[in-house]
Amino acid sequence: MKLFLDEVDRDKAQQLFIQAAADQVILIAPDLLYLDVINTAQRCGIPLEGVVELLEAQKYLLQMRAVSDAERKMALQIIAQGHAKSGYPSIYDALFHAMALCNEGVLVTADKRHFAKTQQLGSIYLLSELSF
């Protein structure tokens, strides 16, 4: 969403896509990201036509695919990592993290709450802490 909304660290999110275009990183995400981006854009009043066009144009940089059985099982393990007082990771965030863990990758997230709940699992960085 950082590519569409004028938010903190938008430039860092854009830099990740620049690195993907230069074949320096591979970006993968569960295919539900497409729907999540559309939903958020609609809630924020962003014209959907432009968002869909950008998503379609980014397909060669961002591989969106179905979650594997192993990734799904890992996500279920991740959502159990929380605590009743501090809360549990969402299944959506856990799917992204599971994809990173199962594919020897790294989840880059702007979600400090998910980071705090799951950093002990590894394969996760805060977008705000990246330097290029």
CATH tag, 10-129: 3.40.50.1010
Strands (E), 19-122: 27-30, 62-65, 107-109
Closest CA to 108 of 92, 94, 87, 126: 126
Quick one: DSSP state of residue 31? T
What residue type is 15 in one-letter code?
Answer: Q
pLDDT of residue 86: 80
pLDDT of residue 2: 66
Which tokens belong to 19? 């690195």
Biggest distance spanned by C-alpha atoms of the chain:
43
Closest CA to 25 of 77, 72, 62: 62
pLDDT means per 10 residues, the chain with 132 residues, are: 76 91 94 92 91 88 95 96 86 96 95 92 94 80
Question: Taking the domains of the chain in order of start, what are their residue ranges?
Answer: 10-129
The structure's pTM equals 0.88
